Structure 1
Amino acid sequence: MPGAELIIQNKNGQLQQPMIEGDIVWETTRSGAASSLTFTVVKDDTLNFHEGNPVSFRFNGSNVFYGYVFKKSRSDNRLIKVTAYDQLRYFKNKDTISYTNKTYAEVLKMLAADYGLKVGTVADTKYKIPQRIEEGTLFDMLGNASDLTIINTGKVYVLYDDFGKLCLKPYESLLLPLYIDEDTAQGYSYTSSIDSDVYNRIKLAWDNDETGVREVHVMNNTASQSKWGTLQYYEKLDNALNTADLQTKAKALMNYYNVIHRELTMQKVFGDVRARAGTSVCVGMGLGDINIKNYMCIEKAKHTFSNGLYTMDLYLSGIRGEFSA
């Protein structure tokens, strides 16, 4: 495809630009997964690469993807289908860690250092997480740190690999000057739901060691309860908070969870390499129960570079509250 530059570096340091058969597909996900690049190369006498070799992809001079070959498959001797992932693939590793009074950003830097991963721009997430003992994947550990930061500050941060360097940036810094409506996509699908991660009663509890009593703080939103019934969020706190801190935490949780969860998928939009998961685009759509003219976060993006045609499928949602008329 014109403008596409895909390079594989083998173990000898040789840079190879193979002939590509068919599409190049780049996929990104906002959380819990690495971005991937899939493509099919034509085998010849000079092409030589193996699992673990670096892969870079640029389009019209812009950096798009840098990662490593993880899978090769073939159904004949001429074509090899390749799947490469960026550094976030290594966050599927399982481990156990403990830490005290570290921010989300500090936990990310600690794990990156443990696994020899390269780090780029990492924002100061400020909130110090109390003592934690974690066991699971590194994605699980960072997801917990992200959730605790959101709950206690209301701020959302986006973790992604920027052409070979791990970055952590505030959601609001990733707004793109792109406008999408019915005319810029070949199709769309839309769903709204209160079935998952929607709450209008917040219940926080902790055990008072001095009195031996479990103390409870409850916050209700009666307006949405009258429409949806009572949907309760419950959390047992490790440490007691004073009344003001409890109210602040409960309010942050209510603001985050007390909204209808809406999802919008835009199909075959004209491609733009800036539109990766975690960034936001402005959407203008009439969807029956709601009219949107606002920024929407890209939860997943699938970019397809085909012969002379570059399109993307965008899976959009509100990070809580942005999906509004």
Structure 2
Amino acid sequence: MITTFTCKKRNSSKVWDIRELAYNVKWETTTNFAAGTLTFNLLEVQEGFVIRNGDVICLKWNKKKIFYGYVFKYEYSSDETFSVTAYDALRYFKNQDSLVMPISTVSQRFEKVAKMAGVKFKTVATSSEKLKAEVCDNKSYFDMLSGAIAKTKRATNKHFYLYANYNVVELRKFPYKQLKLVIGDKSLMESFNLSRSIENTANVVRIIKDSKKKKGRSSATAQSSPSSIKKLGRLTYIEKAKEKANPAQIKARAKQLLKQKSKEENTLKVTAVGHTDLVAGNACIIKSQSLKEVGLGTKSLLITKSTHHFNDRDYTVDLELNV
């Protein structure tokens, strides 16, 4: 049950307890470079309290810290209720800036932009991979870090992400927690939906480079096995090479893109009994006979998005998992 749900002005010590006034409480986390979101409805109260943008919202479930953030939007309707949207501290990573990033690691860049964003932060996972110096002109902190994280992943196969642990923004590595929780037919699972798609799949990748001096163009092509092309048809993706790329780099880029794009896109959505550890970046075990029959046996899967619904004592969570 919700044990703490409060609202306060940033410059005031007065704290309002809104546990009995709030309903339709929903908390969302994602690994896709976005702030954690808390939305809820709030009955109007007298006693001089009115919610305002910038107010600090704190939520705890069974005394466990869940959300610490700030009101960014509210609506007030004729039935005298507020609809409130609050974001955690990651919202300030949407701030734009122009920075020169020296040769540095992704963890060093995280610490730099976190200081610029003015938030509390902690580097939970570090990388020793040095990234090239870069000029980040008029980019959000999210954009600056997403590029650094992608480059680090390509070089080391280690995938980092950002997470707001209550009021502290953390740099973490997938998976942060390998949960022992089993979500299945006989435990926690309420429903599921599995999607398999080749909408964005490519089994032929061509990198093209225009030559200004020779007024022509060169290219490199990578393709999947003949059996894959026969099975799916010819699915071609074309990309222009960087101006300074040499033939070896163009060929390597074609192979790299083919590896990324030749896969079928699989998305599993699950609705389960709520648990506070089922958040984006953690991994849980999925076990279902119906899923096994369509080729998805018992597996530990990474949670890419979670939406928690707190409703009195009824607590459920919607999960999106990387298959």
Residues 124 and 84 (structure 1 numbering): CA distance in 2 closer, same or farther, change over 3 Å? same
Amino acid at match of 1:100: P
2:190–2:273: 8 Å Cα contact kept in structure 1?
no
1:154–1:256: 8 Å Cα contact kept in structure 2?
no
1:176–1:281: 8 Å Cα contact kept in structure 2?
yes
- Cα distance in 2 for partners of 1:114, 1:185 equals 42
TM-score by length of 1: 0.82
How big is the shift at 1:151? 2.2
TM-score by length of 2: 0.82
- Equivalent residue runs for 1:66-145 within 5 Å: 66-76=68-78, 78-134=80-136, 135-145=138-148
- Cα distance in 2 for partners of 1:98, 1:109 equals 14
- Pick which of 281-290 and 65-74 moved more: 281-290
- Pick which of 121-130 and 274-283 moved more: 121-130
Residue of structure 2 equivalent to 1:186: 190
Residue of structure 2 equivalent to 1:279: 282
Deviations along 1:185-239, one digit per CA (max 9) or x if unpaired, are 332211111222x44456668899xx99988665543254443335447473577
User: For 1:155, which of 158, 161, 167 is the aligned residue?
Assistant: 158
- Equivalent residue runs for 1:43-58 within 5 Å: 43-58=45-60
Long gaps (5+) in structure 2: none
Identity, % of aligned positions: 25
Residue of structure 2 equivalent to 1:313: 318
Is 1:300 aligned with 2:301? no
- Cα distance in 2 for partners of 1:164, 1:205 equals 47
Residue of structure 2 equivalent to 1:5: 4
Residues 217 and 101 (structure 1 numbering): CA distance in 2 closer, same or farther, change over 3 Å? farther
> Match of 2:23, SS?
coil
Deviations along 1:48-104, one digit per CA (max 9) or x if unpaired, are 553212211110111111111112221147432221100111222233333232222
Residues 49 and 123 (structure 1 numbering): CA distance in 2 closer, same or farther, change over 3 Å? same
How big is the shift at 1:174? 2.7
> Match of 2:7, SS?
strand
Residues 253 and 154 (structure 1 numbering): CA distance in 2 closer, same or farther, change over 3 Å? farther
- Equivalent residue runs for 1:204-243 within 5 Å: 219-222=222-225, 224-228=228-232, 229-232=234-237, 234=239, 236=241
How big is the shift at 1:121? 3.0
> Match of 2:149, SS?
helix
> Match of 2:269, SS?
strand
Residue of structure 1 equivalent to 2:24: 23
Q: What's the RMSD between the two structures over aligned residues?
A: 3.2
- Pick which of 132-141 and 198-207 moved more: 198-207
Long gaps (5+) in structure 1: 318-322
> Match of 1:292, SS?
coil
Equivalent residues, number: 314
